[in-house]
Chain A
């Protein structure tokens, strides 16, 4: 275990104990089961109550009884005793073979990864050649390759080990190579070069340790697979042969009796085989999780202290009769009921009003918008009410809610390119959106979509309709989302960071477009943003969130020139790049 290796024996004990303490009850059971399998593999043959290799024709095919718990096989050998003795063969072969394949595969994988991207042409070609050879090797189905290898070299433990190792080493070669290549793309790999590490040193010091959890998980999967492969080879007579106790051969020995009704000879070895593979797989996942850094201590969410302003703002009366949107004592409860994600928020919006929502990251801006859209994250509970055009969104039937969304209640979500399904053409998506709300033909829907694309300033609308999202720039994708939002003359537009990720010269274009449409069609807006400048110039009112609470709300001019809460002060200073 690399993370304790350099710390000496006393720290090692400490490390193991700490890992154990960090495990859940289920994980501990898995670890204990794995320990049980290893113990049986080591001590099984000595624990067997009956001889495991001596035939006794008088005891042939006895069903399970007190004397023979799991019955006897056609040689009159006690199945339970053989079952205790057999895992040693299977587990040893699987472990040794897996170890062999990782010892050969992993270093070759490092070489392949380093060679492949090396500027020297000889090396990059060598790396490429290794992979192409591997392709051919892997074209031969694993079981067949192993079977043929054993057939060529003859049965026997060493040959089975070699065959199993041979068919598995490409797995580790590929895994280590691809992990290495993807880790190299991560900034910390570049950081290692920037401080002066050589490529090779960076690979071993910084990259490989990060590939460890993946390799360990694969290791355990491979051990399980190797057990199955060994048993399969023995089952067809190309692996371990009787009288050596081995699970696959035991199943083969009982195979013909299965059809005759003597089920116990084959059933129990198969169950044992399944259990070994199953536990190996789970054990790998447990170890993989334990190897993740900081697995035992996740960062805690910071909570804002109770604020007087918060109480004042949340108690503000929300019963505005002309309100388009009225949020009344809204709370959003996540995993921890003591720390709600949103806490008793009340606010209201008149038709045509533009409200900006600001706050630091994690203040609850996006959660508020999602809750207003009646799309809270899974696993959360909503308390309080959201009324839109006088209707309670919480109690509205799903079908009516759907007809509302995208029509009178429109949404723009952050990073437009991620919002558009990469496999759906813009035109298909827009037409589906239109026809989900209005009865019209496909052709009519596409005509309307094209018209709207022109209205938001996109040229060549037919080409845009035919495009997939990856063929658009960020700014174009954002305009497409705005066009979708405006298709059905919305009364409220909910926009979460509508300009994040856009270049600054494009941001202004998008904001101006939204403002123009809002004014022309009297569309109310809720805009969540971390940029106070947007709020200052594109919104009428502003709400400041902190730690899931509404701490301040009012006309933009009042709040931004004479803020009453500390967080607003800090946000204003921060907008100038200064700390308050």
Chain B
């Protein structure tokens, strides 16, 4: 399956200054595209910079460098007014469903608000559209006048999804939408997201550390580590063959609920290092079981592994051959 490009991100970086000599390199020189109607899964552990990428994409955080093109328009240079006009087409779903909803507004008000801001429809028309959207994400009309705390976590997250989709956006950034939910609620939300994409043709940037969820929803997966993109490829290819040792480690950490399947040996020790003043080297080198001296010399570039599959590892060809 191929998609016409909707978003192109080129050499995106974001640094957070700590003091005169220190900064956090949250995102370092990242490039990727998202197609129309496509879901790109963005995977990484805490501190990998994946949330920052999502915020930069929506310009909720100003990128330090790089460019973002959205539907042919330059998003990085957009003025405040232009950005506001683009808002209905670029939306966000949050990690903590309850905290992302204004506790003093009914869910009907919350979902109708984007329409009232961006369309000239009457209040009644906005309410009707909001009610329709809520119905589509699986909430019945009796919930319309409820406050967020009166709903279950799964229902709250549906409200968040409805608010994001009610303006029929082209792209929704899903920032860990299932990580605070229990497994059954997680599955329900994934269902809703999948159904809505089929109905509306919306693109998703699905940010998560949960590989099971990402695998289910994404067409392609991008893996981040310590502010760098280390591997990107189609879900099927990436699940079959990981060309970066970190992706391997990440996948081996997932435990299948089937006790008859053997558990993969886990390959890495230690924890993610600090992102303060990152050096120009492979970010994974300190934990990598197969690192060689050259890994410390510079950040390896993205190597084309064939089939639109890229990995930033000098030993990727050996890994692919199975020589390691």
Contacts and interface: CB of A to CB of B under 8 A. Distances in A.
Contact of A191 (B94, B183, B184, B254): B94
A530 B249 CA distance: 22
Interface in A179-216: 186-188, 190-198, 206, 209-210
Contacts of B253: 504-505, 507-508
B151 interface: yes
A504 B209 contact: yes
A188 B98 CA distance: 9
Contacts of B255: 531, 533-534, 536-537
B133 to A, nearest CB: 13
B188 A577 contact: no
Given A503-B272, A577-B216, A191 B258 contact: no
A575 interface: yes
A3 B257 contact: no
A341 B157 CA distance: 26
A195 B151 CA distance: 22
Contacts of B105: 206
Contacts of B150: 294, 297, 299
A473 B272 CA distance: 10
B186 interface: yes
B88 interface: yes
A188 B46 CA distance: 22
A473 B96 CA distance: 22
Identify which of B100, B190, B260 gathers the most chain A CB atoms within 10 Å of its CB: B100
A193 B102 CA distance: 13
A436 interface: no
Interface in B132-162: 147-153, 160
Nearest to A559: B259
Interface residues of A, number: 57
Contacts of A298: 149
A557 interface: yes
Interface string B224-235: 000000000000
Given A503-B209, A530-B182, A536 B257 contact: yes
A196 B100 contact: no
B323 interface: no
Contacts of B186: 574, 577
B127 interface: no
B216 A193 contact: no
A570 interface: yes
B212 interface: yes
Interface in A542-578: 556-557, 560-561, 570-578
| A contact face: mostly helix, strand, loop, or mixed | helix
A194 B266 contact: no
A194 B117 CA distance: 12
A188 to B, nearest CB: 5
B268 interface: yes
A360 interface: yes
A194 B92 contact: yes
A451 to B, nearest CB: 20
Nearest to B44: A503
B52 to A, nearest CB: 13
B94 A536 contact: no
A293 interface: yes
Given A294-B150, A579-B187, A506 B271 contact: yes
Nearest to B90: A194
B94 to A, nearest CB: 5
Contacts of B88: 195-196
A434 B141 CA distance: 59
Contact of B184 (A198, A504, A574): A574
A532 interface: yes
Interface string A486-515: 000000000000000001111111001000
Contacts of A578: 187, 190, 216
Contact of A206 (B92, B102, B212): B102
With a 10 A CB-CB cut-off, give which of B118, B147, B163, B252 has the most chain A CB atoms. Answer: B147
A43 interface: no
B152 to A, nearest CB: 8
A503 B253 CA distance: 10
B250 A194 contact: no
A506 B91 CA distance: 32
A517 B157 CA distance: 40
B60 A195 contact: no
Contacts of A209: 102, 104
Contacts of A35: none
Contacts of B99: 186-188
A568 to B, nearest CB: 10
A299 B92 contact: no
B100 A503 contact: no
Contacts of A299: 149-152
Given A475-B271, A505-B266, A537-B259, A196 B101 contact: no
A560 B255 CA distance: 13
A532 B257 CA distance: 5
B114 to A, nearest CB: 4
Contacts of B147: 293-294
Given A504-B45, A507-B253, A576-B257, A188 B183 contact: no
A533 B113 CA distance: 41
Interface in A154-199: 186-188, 190-198
Nearest to A197: B117
Contacts of A557: 259-260
B60 A210 contact: no
A509 B118 contact: no
B191 interface: yes
A537 B216 CA distance: 22
Contacts of A574: 183-184, 186-187
Contacts of B84: 196, 198
B215 interface: yes
Contacts of A530: 182-183
Contacts of B187: 573-574, 577-579
A372 to B, nearest CB: 22
Contacts of A535: 257
B4 interface: no
B19 interface: no
A188 B147 CA distance: 14
Contact of B212 (A505, A556, A571, A575): A575
Given A196-B88, A536-B255, A579-B188, A293 B271 contact: no
A194 B188 CA distance: 24
13 contacts: A187-B95, A191-B94, A193-B60, A194-B58, A195-B91, A206-B102, A210-B104, A293-B104, A360-B184, A504-B250, A505-B271, A571-B184, A573-B187
Given A210-B103, A505-B45, A560-B259, 15 more contacts: A187-B95, A188-B103, A191-B94, A195-B87, A195-B114, A293-B103, A360-B182, A360-B184, A361-B185, A473-B271, A505-B268, A532-B257, A536-B256, A557-B260, A574-B184
